[in-house]
Structure 1
Amino acid sequence: MNRFNVRKVAVLGAGVMGAQIAAHLVNVKVPVVLFDLPAKEGPKNGIVLKALDGLKKLKPSPIGVADDLGLIQPANYEEHLGLLAGCDLVIEAIAERMDWKLDLYTKIAPHVAPHAIVASNTSGLSITKLSEVLPESLKPQFCGIHFFNPPRYMQLVELIPTPTTRPDVLDQLEAFATRTLGKGIVRAKDTPNFVANRVGIAGMLATIAEAEKAGLSYDVVDDLTGKKLGRASSGTFRTADVVGIDTMAHVMKTMQDNLQADPFYASYATPAAVQTLIAAGALGQKSKAGFYKKVGKDVLRFDAAKGDYVPAGAKADALVDRILKKPAAERLKLLRESTNPQAQFLWAIFRNSFHYVAVHLAEIADSAREVDLAMRWGFGMKQGPFELWQAAGWAQVAEWVKADIDAGKALCNAPLPAWVFDGRTGVHTPEGSWSAAQGKYIPRAALPVYQRQLFPEKLLGEGGVDAATAGTELFKNDECRVWTLDGQVAILTLTGKMHTIGPGTVEGLYKALELAEGQYDGLVIWSPDEPFSAGANLEAMLPTFMKMGAKGIAPEVKKLQDALLRLRYASVPTVAAVRGLALGGGCEIAVAAARRVAHMESYVGLVEVGVGLIPGGGGLTYIARRAAEKAALTGAADLLPGLKDAFQAAAMATVGTSAIESRKLGYLLGDDVIVAHRDELLFIAIEQVKSMAASNWRAPLKTLFPVAGRNAKATIAAQLVGMRDGGFISAHDYHIAGLIADVVTGGDVDAGTLVSEEYLMALERKHFCSLLENPKTQERIMGLLQTGKPVRN
């Protein structure tokens, strides 16, 4: 297969989705031409310019750093269609109107490059009908590409071919979207709303209907259908508010218009509450009101019976809470047999889900794999419906669902397909996933791009090697595992809760370095799940602190500092493969490695201020050293300008909101690698080690370096006084920030004094231990351990 080289992308439509798709493309450094209609007043590109400005205000941010918006070139259809000739991929993302899309295709077709792929980001319109207006030469290069909102964060992208789409076009687009954009690809059939929205919106409609039947309020339903079910924390109705109630209604209408023969058709009717909210302009989050709205600090929910908003906050019954913590088989049995209305409601939505996906599998997807992955990646579920059914006992659940259908309790009387009862134990096996259309198990795609995913996300029943036990184990304790996958590179995996750092981690790090230096090309620090590390294990410190006070903690801090210096000066290349949170000590491990490979959604920072401490594992020493290195590169005599931003980040516990921003904060460096797809992280980290080893990489030499000194510390202190007196920071924050300033400027020394890393780490250790004795810090630590939330005092 020829490589599909995407040098530039055209995005047609600067609305909510188009602008955010453009933003995600430039996050991964793909230049974009963003088109929209010419503005009637002002600059012709006014609509696009306004959309780009709007991207800066969205939360969560669709852009890694705002500077990258400069990679988006504004354009309009009147003046700039000629720019399409320089684009390798054209993504149409205008409003969901068939006539508007067909008209636009007629306009752009003469200008599209002969080799370019053209794709529509429709959420449910027929891709085949959209293709009919295209010239014959372009039809083989046209398909659907359905991003989920918000495009930066949602992993799912559905690819939908037409009967005339060339197979290699789908393969090329799948490789690009996987490797470059970091997406999980589901190939869908060209049926209304494809896979995820077809199943997801049908499920939401069924949930609304069952909630009304059970007399449950929206807040109770959201508490029941969020994290307790292993789904997105927003539950059902908050999710509708985020998606947009009008958008959801549009998807419903697609189903109503195109699925009259569907046995579940009656359940696709637009709920009365949805009609009421749309009529009132309450479209969800974007209009500040929907199923919920916020008034001051109070969250209100819509009460359909009253036609008005009432206080929210009701929770699930304790009995149901307990049931939901049981294993799958026991959980479903207890829900089905319970007389509790909430339990009956949950059984009903599970039953409806199993019924729906079984009846529709042959029509909407190549196999059950596509359904479950679509629901994981598009709707935030930990398990897809087929996975849950399989986990709970396939045959027994099938009999329960059949009994409810026969008793008239289901959404319709369509029987479960015959294959459900053929003696199987599920639909996912090591051989592949069940295809109802083909009557066989289909293995995963074998495209070359997937060879880079050493431990891809697996579905229940698929089998395969588990990263927790893979390779050859070299060492293991309660907090980490050292192993090798290929006999060339050693891997250190943290295994404790939230991958926090304790004595076992220090022991494992020393062992990993000893093994790597003696037998391997280098070391990768990686974990198959998030986070990279949430920092020091404060809870594990408590017994020692209670018995010996700060004097008992100081030696443990020294051991961590020494271990991270050992990592920094290892004689073989070391790479930290960062995914998710790398906070406090996790950040310090990352910056001590020779190089970092970070997933795009990595959040890196020194956050010890939140628990009333300062970084103690060398994080502040790193800041001081980096300031000296930057000054040496530019020839600057004054170290303070290169120090201020990093000091502020540590003093304010600023965390990079992406790997891109973490690089801007200085926690990632210029030669570090940012990876779009999380499952490629280990592969790329291993390749980095091998490349560094092959190019005769050498560890940095230990040297002394200059610090900013007491005058710089005094300058910082004066600014801190203003922040304290202005009420921006508390007195304790002021005290902690002063200690941070003392370390990063080198203490009570002249500007330019040469110091060692050990000298600065001793200052870190001294101030860290002094804060442990401070009642305000103790209050913060205990508050975090008890509530999980930071205490501001």
Structure 2
Amino acid sequence: MDFERICEGDFGTKVCVIGAGTMGGGIALHLANLGFEVTLLDLTPQSVREGFDRAKSASPPHLYLPQNESRVRLGSIEADLEWLAEVGWVCEAVVEKLDIKRDLFERIEPLIAPDAYVTTNTSGLEISLLAEGRSEAFRSKFMGTHFFNPPRYLKLLELIPTKETDPRAITAMTRFLEERVARRVVPAKDTPGFIANRFGMWCMYKAVHIAERLGLSVEAVDAITGPFLGRPRSGSFRLNDIVGLDIMQDIAGNLIARCPDDPFIGVLQAPESLSYLISKGWIGGKVGQGFYRREGKEFLSFDLATKAYRQRQEPELPSLGDLGKLPLVERLRTAIELRDEVGEFLRLYLIPALEYAQYLKAEISHDHLSFDRVMQWGFAWELGPFGMLDCLKSGATGVNEGPFFQEGRQLDFAGKYVSIPEEPEYKSLQSFSVLEDAGLYRLRDLGEGVTAISLATKMGTISPDLVNALGELMTSGKVERYVLTSEAKCFSAGFDLNFFREKIEQEDWEGIDRALTELQQLSLLLGQTPGCAAVFRYCFGAGLELALGCPVAAVDAECQVGFPEARVGLLPGGGGTARARCIAQVHGTQEIAKLAGRMMLGVVQNNADAARAEYALRDTDVTVYHPDRLLFEAIALARSAEPIATPEWRALEGPVAGMIDSAKSQKRAAGEISEHDERIGDKVKSVLARATSFEDALDRERDAFVELCRNALTFARIQHMLATGKPLRN
């Protein structure tokens, strides 16, 4: 079978991962999540079972749903290599030893299907060396596919062909990985460590060296190299623990051996603290201690000077607070000039790192954009090194070139500006022109008659004013087809609790009922116009009620979804209780009782597939596994969407009310719920089990919501959530 047809979807779903270690197990489960039939092989039946069990119990979890593990078939290299003939793609992920990988490729070449592709997940061995001795046909479809750990959560994949890889195979594999494996692919040159490990590991080592040189604490360095630099909260030392100090040592050793002509490679010689921790076996998070040690809920810090653990200390770096609120570009320009510990660290760490990127770029990458994307997508940097160089003032570094990016163009390695190719499937919401800024929401032109209705409130918070404005919009005739989404960093965190607090204080029960009525009506209005909700990160409470009102929802796979209202003493009152019942009813009375139990506790799901399995999403809603294609997929769904009818309400068979009461009583007797939780459960039951129609259910959930608002225990929960951001169980 021609592999280019695989990219069009004309391919089974059978793939094989060889190697059940940390990466192999994670890749196998990621592929199982996506619907592939996965064969996972390791040396022996015992080793593959042990590796698979470790992968299933990993934290954070690899699987979206526990049942996805059934898509993985386990086998041994010794007994089951003939299974390779069934698959279209073999991904090798065995130990990072050149001879072991070569021997494996020699064994499997006669067994694979003629059109199958073989790739290696090596993190740094040259692909051309691994391909030596193989046939021309094998080499033409052989390349590196460097996943990042954990594969479910990190979207970057470095694709490394050799000079002998067929260009058509590169194109086919790129499309396959982007469209079917849900990765962002960056091409890298076939050099030791590729881009991520060659440059990223150097930066990790450099931070430790400079910390030791300046006598800075691990907390201080992590504070400087975290969000202050536009990077994750893990900073440098916590990142080291996450990666594993032993892994760092192995990668550094390989790079030192394979890059003897690199004048900057000496940075990868182990700093004193790193050597000491490795000698003690304190190699990071997987053993519970490295630069940080976990003791119960507390973290201790490793003192680089005394080589002993101590209580964590808040670093005294006032300039971080002073500059932290500035935009990143301005923050970098200012911080690099500071005459304090922050400025000194950045001049000794950041500037050499940027200069090293300039030195390496032509050797390891194809262009500046690829280099930056690896650091942005693989290390979660807000700006890559060349984006940072564009931010800094002329003369701040030894790099006398640039700007590297300018109005949709980038500087190529020959010194000419070339256009950055358009990628319509990855366009962000902000790249579409604004048709109208209504304050609480914006309208954007998504093309071909589709309009984005994007919430413009903080965290996509729903308020009565926003509900009224959207209601007027949906009846104005302005919108023919739509995508409902958000300008914020999440779809919606739910209804504004401050509104309910104020109404409770005023004892304005009619005002609460009116707000809920308008929310229910808006949800129904959204279903009368063809459209799609594009849901990401958080979709809670009222936000979910609006999403379920749309004809269809496209939901980012990692989105947290659910009705957490019980955590503030309430139940979903904008149509959510009724809609969840309509979703669950086709699965039987027992499932309605389970739904009631979750609503009583305010349970939310941590991914879209789990939310669908627990009836927080409809079977027709679409999980988007590629994190950057959500809007693209939502636009396509909006173009084909049709208006939907009011949800059908079905009579239930069996004593559903009694089942809810029984489960509630058992939880109460076991001390798992409070009396107020039980009260909320009764209100949920009144909707799920007693309502006679969808309209009756809407009335019942509003009445129950208002009655709970009258209870002092609910008001206490609302107050506590607003004050602390945490639920109160009273």
Relative to the length of structure 1, the TM-score reads: 0.86
| Contact 2:218/2:304, CA 8 A, preserved across alignment | no
Change (3 A) 1:692 1:218: same
Aligned with residue 706 of structure 1, among 631, 651, 663: 651
Cα distance change, pair 577–643 in 1 and its aligned pair in 2 (3 A): same
- Give 1:145-224 correspondences, 5 Å limit: 145-224=145-224
Alignment counterpart, residue 400 of structure 1, candidates 396, 401, 407: 396
Alignment of 1:571-610 (within 5 A): 572-610=529-567
Q: CA deviation at 1:151?
A: 0.3
Work out the number of aligned pairs and report it: 724
**1:565 Cα offset (Å):** 2.4
Verify: 1:790 aligned to 2:727, yes or no.
Answer: yes
Letter in 2 for 1:558: T
- Within the alignment, does 1:664 sit opposite 2:599 as a pair? no
Q: Does 1:721 align with 2:665?
A: yes
Unaligned runs of 5+ in 2: none
Distance change (3 Å), C-alpha of 1:56 and 1:508: farther
Classify 1:77/1:487 alpha carbon distance in 2 versus 1 (closer, same or farther; 3 Å): closer
Instruction: Name 2:417's counterpart in structure 1.
Output: 441
TM-superposed deviation, 1:342: 3.3
Q: Provide Cα deviations, 1:587-621, integer angstroms capped at 9, x if missing partner.
A: 21222222222222122111112222221111111
1:739 correspondence with 2:683? yes
Equivalent residues of 1:214, 1:342 under 8 A apart: no
Task: Describe the SS at the equivalent of 2:6.
Answer: coil
Report the counterpart of residue 432 of structure 1 in structure 2. Answer: 409
Can you list the C-alpha shifts for 1:40-95, whole angstroms capped at 9, x where unaligned?
xxxxx222222222233111110111111111111211222121122111111111
- 2:273 aligned residue: 273
How many angstroms does 1:532 deviate by?
1.6
Work out whether residues 182 and 626 of structure 2, in 8 Å CA contact, stay in contact via their aligned partners in 1: yes
Distance 2:93 2:648 in 1: 55
Equivalent residue number for residue 452 of structure 1: 425
- 1:155-206, CA deviations, whole angstroms, 9 ceiling, x for partnerless residues? 1100011111111211111111111222111111112211122221111111
Alignment CA distance shift 1:674-1:169 (3 Å): same
Would the aligned equivalents of 2:462 and 2:494 in 1 still touch at CA under 8 Å? yes
Query: Aligned partners of 1:28, 1:87: CA distance in 2, in Å?
Result: 16
CA distance in 2, matches of 1:336, 1:430: 26
Does residue 20 of structure 2 align to residue 14 of structure 1? yes
Greater displacement, 364-373 / 331-340: 331-340
How far is the alpha carbon of 1:704 from its aligned partner? 5.3
Q: Is the 8 A contact 2:319 2:342 kept in 1?
A: no
Partner letter of residue 665 of structure 1?
E
Partner of 2:493: 534
Could you give the per-residue CA deviations for residues 627-651 of structure 1, whole angstroms, max 9, x where no partner exists? 44445xxxxxxx3x13022222222
What residue in structure 2 maps to residue 648 of structure 1? 597
If the length of structure 2 is used for normalisation, what is the TM-score? 0.93
What corresponds to 2:449 in structure 1?
488
The Cα shift of 1:714 comes to 4.4
Equivalent position amino acid for 2:20 in 1: A
Check the 8 A contact 1:427/1:433 in 2, yes or no.
yes
In 2, Cα distance between the equivalents of 1:575 and 1:558? 22
User: Hey, what does 2:302 align to over in structure 1?
Assistant: 302
Task: Say whether the 8 Å CA contact 1:368–1:434 is kept in structure 2.
Answer: yes
Q: Which residue of 5, 8, 16 corresponds with 1:3?
A: 5
Separation of aligned partners in 2, 1:602 and 1:671: 17
Alpha-carbon distance in structure 1 between the residues aligned to 2:192 and 2:473? 53
Q: What amino acid sits opposite 2:404 in the alignment? A: V
Aligned counterparts of 1:55 and 1:352: Cα–Cα separation in 2: 38
In the alignment, is residue 514 of structure 1 matched against residue 471 of structure 2?
A: no
The residue number in structure 2 matching 1:140 is 140
C-alpha displacement at 1:540, in angstroms?
4.8
Does residue 615 (structure 1) correspond to residue 572 (structure 2)? The answer is: yes
- Partner deviation per Cα, 1:121-171 (whole Å, 9 max, x = no partner): 011111111111322221111111100000000011000111111112111
Residue 780 in structure 1 maps to residue 724 in structure 2:
no
Q: Using the alignment, how far apart are the partners of 1:296 and 1:487 within structure 2? A: 56
Paired residues for 1:23-42 under 5 Å = 23-38=29-44
- Give the drift of 1:774: 3.2
CA distance in 1, matches of 2:313, 2:119: 43
Name the residue aligned to 1:523: 482
CA contact (8 A) 1:472 1:485 kept: no
- With 486-495 and 7-16 compared, the bigger mean Cα shift is at 486-495
Unaligned runs of 5+ in 1: 39-44, 403-415, 457-466, 632-638, 747-753
**d(CA) in 2 for partners of 1:472 and 1:303?**
52
Q: Out of 554, 566, 574, which is 2:513 matched to? A: 554
Distance 1:129 1:324, change over 3 A: same
d(CA) in 1 for partners of 2:720, 2:338: 38
| Aligned equivalents of 1:19, 1:377: Cα separation in 2 | 21
Letter in 2 for 1:602: C
The amino acid across from 1:470 in the alignment is F
The answer as to whether partners of 1:577 and 1:681 remain within 8 angstroms in 2 is yes
Which amino acid is 2:319 matched to? L
Q: Paired residue for 1:47?
A: 47
Identity among equivalent pairs (%): 32
- Asked if structure 2 preserves the Cα contact closer than 8 Å seen for 1:160 and 1:189, the reply is yes
- Secondary structure of 2:559's aligned partner: strand
The letter of the residue matching 2:253 is K
Whether the aligned pair in 2 keeps the contact of 1:624 and 1:745 (CA below 8 Å) is no
Pick closer, same or farther for the CA change 1:515–1:357 going to 2, 3 Å: farther
What letter is aligned with 2:412?
S
Distance 1:92 1:234 in 2: 30
